[in-house]
Amino acid sequence: MTFMAVLAAVTLLAAALPTARRRRPLRDAARIGMAGAMVFAGISHWLMPVPFVQHVPPFVPFPEAVVLLSGVVEVALGAALLGPRQWRRPAGIVLAAYLVAVFPANVYVAVAAVDVQGQPDGWYSWLRLPLQALFVAWALWSTGRSGPTRPAGDAARAGAEPGDRAVHPVPPRR
């Protein structure tokens, strides 16, 4: 639940703090929140590896190295979400794929009733399973386009970013 708490807190903070020119769109705040949560999770892999090692199924070799490497991947993905605009969508897709790839470890913990240090027993590991779908959706939604494309004049007034494509309306038929 720490990941969810960090995700929510950073998202709310990002939404509350406006940019230099305007209020930050919710989608951008959600992307920043996911970036913060991923960096937090990645650093946690390095500073407190035991619970993460406990998530690794026994058939996976070198669980400590896997955990440390996955921490590197999580920090890198979090940083990519904050990187240049052209990186954000690909980073969101890679993050979603990563979250799907590590999902079997969460299933292993729930099914095998693994006692994970610092986490409640029983129901908690089962509760985490549907949350993974939320995180995947969050990663994809928060890195998608900022909304429907508007006519050029409306897009400029709505604070479109440089590089956003504007669609010019088709004149009505008479």
In a domain, 153, yes or no: no
Check residue 170 and give its pLDDT.
53
In a domain, 174, yes or no: no
Asked if the structure places residue 141 within a domain, the reply is yes
pTM for this predicted structure: 0.80
Per-residue pLDDT of the chain (174 residues; tens, 9 = 90+): 789 899 999 999 999 987 777 888 899 999 999 999 999 999 999 999 999 999 999 999 999 999 999 999 999 999 999 999 999 999 999 999 999 999 999 999 999 999 999 888 878 899 989 999 999 999 999 999 654 444 444 444 444 554 445 444 555 565
Chain centre to alpha carbon of residue 160 = 23
State residue 146's pLDDT score: 54
**Does residue 124 sit within a domain?**
yes
Which structural domain range is residue 66 located in?
Answer: 2-147
The domain total for the chain is 1
Please report whether residue 50 resides in a domain: yes
Contact (CB, 8 A) for 15 and 26? yes
The answer to whether residue 21 sits within a structural domain is yes
pLDDT of residue 173: 60
Report the candidate in 66, 64, 15, 71 with the shortest Cα–Cα distance to residue 43: 71
CB 19 within 8 A of CB 49: no
**Residue 26 covered by a domain:** yes
